[in-house]
Structure 1
Amino acid sequence: MAALIVILVLLVLVAFVLGQTIKIIPQARAGIVERFGKYRTTLNPGLNLVTPFVDRVRYKIDLREQVVSFPPQPVITEDNLVVSIDTVIYFQVTDPVAATYEIANYISAVEQLTMTTLRNIVGGMDLESTLTSREEINGGLSGVLDEATGRWGIRVGRVEIKGIDPPPSIKDSMEKQMRADRDKRAAILTAEGQRQSAILTAEGNKQSAILNAEGDRESTILRAQAERESAILKAQGEGQAITTVFQAIHDGQPDQSLLAYQYLQMMPKIAEGDANKLWVVPSEITKALEGLGSAVHQVAGIPQSTGGVKHRIDMGAEEPETPDTDAARAQANEAVREAIAAAEQSEQGAGGRRSAPSTPAPTDVPATPSPEEPDAT
């Protein structure tokens, strides 16, 4: 039983000795070994052997890059304004021995060094420059801290300004200034927009007036040309109508009987109207009636033939004379005789009511040649 206890004690002692001899260092760590309170060596990551009861791992230094955020610190600017600035520092231990024996607490030392350096940098800048020069402040802090912490075995990689908070009164003034500046820019942009709108509107009105004037001019020109062509065509039509009428008259070879018949047709129109109590028969009608009764007399003022050149116009194919045409001509002659007889009776019946116009007696003139006989002239 005693031997078993001794074996167990020896096993425990061996295990304790092995625990003091074998040291395991994690990755990205460094172990500082002291022998009787004095630095002996630095253990690398992995399995390490030390002298038990003589060597002791005093510190384990983290070799990774570390991030430390410092609380806001009051800083006075050049224009005597107090602002609160909080920073973030990225650093890494490069020499575990120096970080252990050159400085007691390197994190606190870095914080205090950051605050003092920040006060020095911001103290030479006004508030406006402080708010707009973060990169400059970061660069100044990084340079000063890296130089100061190099002998501590620390490398400062980056310094960032998290926030710069001016006093509430300054914030309110800045907001008012910013609002006024934005209102100013808005007013300028509005005025420029109105100016551009007025310019574009004026240009549009100018172009519209020019186009309207050009349209009115072209419309007037086209209207004048249309009226001119219309007048020309109308005059040409009237000329052709007159020529056609005169040609028809010449082709028909009217005699004194036809003209007298036309006079007789005008007599009822002369007597139209209820207010006509007295009407005068033109002397030409009497002469026309005398011409109807005599083939050797001619009505004064009615020529037998017209002079000048006859301009012929194609009137289309003439219709051949038929028995129907002869019958119609005879019927027309009979109507002419009846009209002449009625006119003579009317003239004799109205002898007491009117006086016949004094007209010269008809003179003997050559008779109108018949259509079958050629003109003697």
Structure 2
Amino acid sequence: MVALILLALLLIFVVVVLAKTVRIVPQAQAAIVERFGKYKASLPAGLNVLVPFIDRVRYMIDLREQVVSFPPQPVITEDNLVVSIDTVIYFQVTNPVAATYEIANYIQAVEQLTMTTLRNIVGGMDLEETLTSRDAINSRLRGVLDEATGKWGIRVNRVELKGIDPPPSIKDSMEKQMRADRDKRAAILTAEGQRQSAILTAEGAKQSAILNAEGDRESQILRAQADREAAILRAQGEGQAIQTVFQAIHDGQPDQSLLAYQYLQMMPKIAEGDANKVWIVPSEIGKALEGLGSTMTNLQGIPKDATPRVRVDMGETNPAVAQESDASRAGAHAAVEEALAAARVAEVKAPPAPGSADAAPPAAPPQPGAEPPA
């Protein structure tokens, strides 16, 4: 029985010795070993063997980068405004021995050092500069912290300001100022837009007026040119028509019978007017016709044996059409002769009025082929 107890005690002693001798250090950590209260060594990650009951692990230091967020701290700016600033520190232990023996609590030391340095930096800035100079504050704060914590075996990698909160009254004033500034910029932009719109509208009206004036000018020029060309064409047409009629008259060789026939055809048209209530046919119509024919025959405009100086191109002449024209001309001449003979007979049969100048004996009818009296 005593042997079993001794064996159990021996087994327990062996376990305790092994526990004191063998130490396993996790990755990214360092163990600080002391011997009789004095620093002995730093154990790396992995399996390590110690002298039991003599060496012991005093601290386990985390070598990874750590993030510490500090609560908001009141800071007074240059213009005597209190703002609350909370910061975030990214640091890493580079020397476990210095972090263990050079300072008692390096996290608290970093926090206090951050607050004091931040008050010094922000105290030289006004509120507006503080709100707009985050990068400058971060750079200056990191430089001071990195220099101060180097002897503690700590390296400050990054410093960030999470928030800068001015007092509520200052926030309200800033919001009013921001609204006023935005309203001002909106009014300026609106005025500039209206000005640009007015300028563009005026330029458009100017261009429109110029184009309308140019269009009216071109239109008037084109109308004037069209009127001139139309007048020229009408004058040329009238001239060609006159030449054509003049040539036709001379080519037809009009005589007294044709002119008398034309006179007889015009007499009903003369009597067609509404104002011609009474129209008396003279008894000497035959003589009048003869005198008119002789007079028209001897006009300068229609000479007996004359041809036009300027010939008008009448186109190709069809022989059949020419024969028909000669036949129609002969028929018209015969009709005129018959009308003249009828007029002379009517004149002979009509008794003259007593005491008038027309009581003279009628003239003998002219012989065929004789020249009518002038």
Residue matched to 1:78:
78
Give the deviation of 1:367 after TM superposition. Answer: 5.7
Cα-to-partner distance string for 1:301-337 (whole Å, 9 max, x where unaligned)? 5315276753222333153599977875564345324
Do the aligned partners of 1:255 and 1:368 also contact (CA within 8 Å) in 2?
Answer: no
Counterpart CA distance in 2 for 1:44 and 1:323 is: 144
Residue 65 of structure 2 corresponds to 65
Letter in 1 for 2:256: Q
1:99 partnered with 2:96: no
Q: What is the TM-score when the length of structure 2 is the normalising length?
A: 0.84
Structure 1 position 349, deviation (Å): 6.1
Does the CA-based 8 Å contact 1:21-1:52 persist in structure 2? yes
The answer for the alignment partner of 1:22 in structure 2 is: 22
Unpaired runs of 5+ residues, structure 1, are 293-297, 370-377
Structure 1 residues 47 and 350: CA distance shift in structure 2, 3 A: farther
Distance 2:93 2:142 in 1: 15
Q: Which residue does 1:192 correspond to in 2?
A: 192
8 Å contact 1:270–1:279 — kept in the other structure?
no
- The alpha-carbon distance between structure 1 residues 330 and 135, as it changes in their structure 2 partners (threshold 3 A), is closer
Contact 1:24 1:45 in 2 (8 A): yes
In structure 1, distance between residues paired with 2:47 and 2:284 = 161
Q: Does 1:300 align with 2:317?
A: no
How far off its partner does 1:134 sit?
0.9
Q: 2:161 maps to what in 1?
A: 161
Q: What is residue 117 of structure 1 aligned with on the other side?
A: 117
CA distance in structure 2 between the partners assigned to 1:50 and 1:285 by the alignment: 173
3-state SS of 2:31 partner: strand
Residues 247, 308 of structure 2: 8 Å contact kept: no
Distance, in Å, in 2 between the alignment partners of 1:191 and 1:320 is 91
- For 2:26 and 2:214, locate their aligned partners in 1 and report how far apart those are by CA, in whole Å: 95
Q: Which secondary structure does the structure 2 equivalent of 1:161 belong to?
A: strand
The aligned residue for residue 171 of structure 1 is: 171
Residue type of the partner of 1:311? V
Structure 2 residue identity aligned to 1:121: I
Matched, 1:312 2:307: no
CA drift at 1:245:
0.7
Pairwise CA distance, 1:67: 0.6
Give SS of 2:319's match: coil
| Matched-pair contact (CA < 8 Å) for 2:250–2:307 | no
Equivalence for 1:228? 228
Residue 207 of structure 1: how far off its partner (Å): 2.1
Compute the displacement of 1:342 (Å).
5.3
| Matches of 1:17 and 1:198, distance apart in 2 | 98
Equivalent pair of 2:66/2:92 in contact (CA under 8 Å): yes
Contact 2:256 2:296 in 1 (8 A): no
Retained in 2: the 8 A contact 1:145–1:156?
yes
Q: Which residue of 2 aligns with 1:373?
A: none
Q: What secondary structure is seen at the aligned counterpart in 2 of 1:299?
A: helix
- Which residue identity lines up with residue 72 of structure 1 in the other structure? P
| Contact residue 22 and residue 48 of structure 1 kept, 8 A | yes
Q: What is the aligned residue count?
A: 357
Provide, for residues 119-143 of structure 1, a one-character-per-residue CA deviation record: whole Å limited to 9, x for no partner.
1111111100110111111122112
Q: Please state whether the residue corresponding to 1:47 is helix, strand or coil.
A: strand
Distance 1:174 1:346, change over 3 A: farther
CA contact (8 A) 2:63 2:92 kept: yes
Unpaired runs of 5+ residues, structure 2, are: none
CA distance in 2: counterparts of 1:241 and 1:284, whole angstroms = 37
Q: State the shift of 1:186 in Å.
A: 1.6
Partners of 1:350 and 1:24 lie apart in 2 by 176
- Matched to 1:302, the amino acid is T
Judging changes above 3 Å, is the alpha-carbon distance between structure 1 residues 88 and 213 closer, same or farther for their aligned structure 2 residues? same
Range 28-37 or range 14-23, more displaced? 28-37
Map 1:26-45 to 2 at 5 A: 26-45=26-45
1:10 positional shift? 1.6
Contact 1:260–1:288 under 8 Å retained in 2: no
- SS at 1:128 equivalent: helix
1:315-334 residue pairs with structure 2 within 5 A?
315=314, 316-320=316-320, 328=328, 331-334=331-334
Q: How far has the Cα of 1:201 moved from its partner? A: 2.1
TM-score, L = length of structure 1: 0.84
Task: Give the distance between the partners of 1:86 and 1:327, measured in 2 at CA.
Answer: 131
Task: State the partner residue of 2:181.
Answer: 181
Tell me the residue number matched to 1:374: none
The 2-side partners of 1:98 and 1:323 are apart by 146
Paired letter, 2:193: G
> Shift of the alpha carbon at 1:286?
4.5
Larger CA deviation: 203-212 vs 282-291: 282-291
Label 1:261 to 1:152 Cα distance change in 2 as closer, same or farther (>3 A). Answer: same
For residue 64 of structure 1, what is the amino acid of its counterpart?
A: R
State the partner residue of 1:372: none
Q: Which amino acid aligns with 2:33?
A: V
CA distance 1:341–1:307, change in 2 (3 Å): closer
Q: Say if 2:206 is the partner of 1:206.
A: yes
Pair 240,281 (structure 1): closer, same or farther in 2 beyond 3 Å: farther
Letter in 1 for 2:245: V
Q: Residue 295 of structure 1 corresponds to which residue in structure 2? A: none
